[in-house]
Every structure is written in structure tokens, then in C-alpha cells.
């Protein structure tokens, strides 16, 4: 990465519970050091509207579950040098993939029609929910992933280790600091 300008870092929230982003925020005071060293150019915590070009490192939480997720992860891949699958949902499908044995229509009816508590939901899901893929799938089934960082969620120390190693110009080995289901 260039020494002349700060590396650009992004974080993305696909079909996950936000727990991986909570773990990212659990870096606490180390985040202050981090923002001195990098530009956070896209993230739920800063809420930009467009994923920018030429991002150095992107951490993606969650599985790919909707048509919108598919478009987004392909765009992110084109615009990112080092793409990290952040957490077990991004790495394996994990919790979102628990829906996979069921048909999409069963799932939508159950969640948005049978159990709807608002009049909007009772009208049916089509107008209100982005079209779902038949299955929730991990990132690597759609795009090349440079680094898998497992854990549910990965500990803040592991996220910090991985980012620090990348900033130092080394490709980290996450198995030193985390594992599946942590």
C-alpha cells in the first residue's frame, strides 16, 4: 500500500446480525489510532451512499442472500484490492444459511405475511423486501475472497491484528487469533 496517502478501508453489512460490526467497534481506543492511519471510506458507521472506487481493504459481514447483495458484492470485488470475509456468516453462510432447507416462498410467507404485525406486511412482502436469492451463500461462492476471518463474531483483537498486519504490508494468518464459532 502507498506511503504517500492513507489506505482506504471499507466495511460492509450484508445478511448478518451486525455482531461483526459490533466487534469491529469493540476495538475501542484502537479505533482512534486506526483512523489516523486509514481513511474509512464506506461503512454502516459512517453511512455513505455509494461504494467508492480504489478501496484498499474491505471487510464484509454477512452472507449473500438477496439480489441486491449479489450486485453489491460484485461491485465491491471490482473496487477492492484486499477483500476480507468478516465472520462465520460471510465465511460459511452460518446463521442466514439456516433458511436454505426451506423454499423462498415459505420463508417470505412465514416472516412477512403469517406473522406480520403491520398492515404493510399483511399485503405481502414483494413491495417491501428486496428479492431473495434461493439460498443464503458465503462470499467465496460469488467472488474471490483474499482472506477469511472466522468467528461469530471474530474477536476485536483478531480484527485489529488482521488490519494491522495488512497496514504493515504483511498478509496475516487469522488462524493464529480466531477460529469458527468463537
Site size with ligand SF4, rule: CB under 6 A: 13
- 27: number of Cβ within 10 Å: 17
| Out of 58, 65, 94, 133, the residue judged to bind ligand SF4 by CB under 6 A | 94
Q: Which is nearer to ligand SF4, 46 or 98 (CB)?
A: 98
Is 56 among the residues that bind ligand SF4 (CB under 6 A)?
no
Question: What distance lies between CA 74 and its chain's CA centroid?
Answer: 13
CB pairs under 8 A, 24+ apart, for 176-180?
178/149, 178/150, 178/151, 178/154, 179/150, 179/151, 180/88, 180/91, 180/92, 180/150, 180/151, 180/152
Q: Please identify which residue in 20, 57, 85, 163 interacts with ligand SF4, judged by CB under 6 A.
A: 20
The verdict on 138 binding ligand SF4 (CB under 6 A) reads: no
Q: Does 69 bind ligand SF4 (CB under 6 A)?
A: no
Site for ligand SF4 in 140-179 (CB under 6 A): 152-153
Residue 69: helix, strand or coil by DSSP?
A: helix
In terms of CB distance, is 8 or 85 closer to ligand SF4? Answer: 85
Residues in the chain: 182
Give whichever of 7 and 87 is closer to ligand SF4, judged by the CB atom.
87
Q: What is the DSSP letter of 52?
A: P
Only one residue has cell 439460498, namely 135
Tell me, residue by residue from 72 to 91, as one string, x for binding to ligand SF4 by CB under 6 A and - for no binding: ---------------xxx--
Site residues (CB under 6 A) for ligand SF4?
Answer: 16-17, 19-20, 61-62, 87-89, 94-95, 152-153
Amino acid at each position: 500500500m502507498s506511503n504517500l496517502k492513507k489506505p482506504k478501508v471499507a466495511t460492509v453489512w450484508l445478511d448478518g446480525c451486525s455482531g461483526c460490526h459490533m466487534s469491529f467497534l469493540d476495538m475501542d481506543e484502537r479505533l482512534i489510532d486506526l483512523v489516523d492511519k486509514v481513511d474509512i471510506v464506506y461503512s454502516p458507521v459512517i453511512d455513505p451512499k455509494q461504494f467508492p472506487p480504489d478501496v484498499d481493504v474491505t471487510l464484509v459481514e454477512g452472507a449473500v442472500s438477496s439480489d441486491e447483495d449479489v450486485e453489491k458484492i460484485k461491485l465491491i470485488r471490482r473496487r477492492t484490492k484486499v477483500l476480507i470475509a468478516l465472520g462465520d456468516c460471510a465465511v460459511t453462510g452460518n446463521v442466514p444459511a439456516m433458511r436454505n432447507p426451506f423454499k423462498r416462498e415459505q420463508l417470505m410467507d412465514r416472516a412477512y405475511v403469517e406473522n406480520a404485525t403491520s398492515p404493510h406486511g399483511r399485503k405481502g412482502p414483494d413491495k417491501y423486501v428486496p428479492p431473495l436469492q434461493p439460498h443464503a451463500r458465503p462470499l467465496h461462492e460469488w467472488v474471490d475472497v483474499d482472506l477469511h476471518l472466522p468467528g461469530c463474531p471474530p474477536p476485536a483483537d483478531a480484527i485489529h491484528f488482521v488490519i494491522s498486519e495488512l497496514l504493515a504490508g504483511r498478509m496475516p494468518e487469522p488462524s493464529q487469533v480466531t477460529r469458527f464459532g468463537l
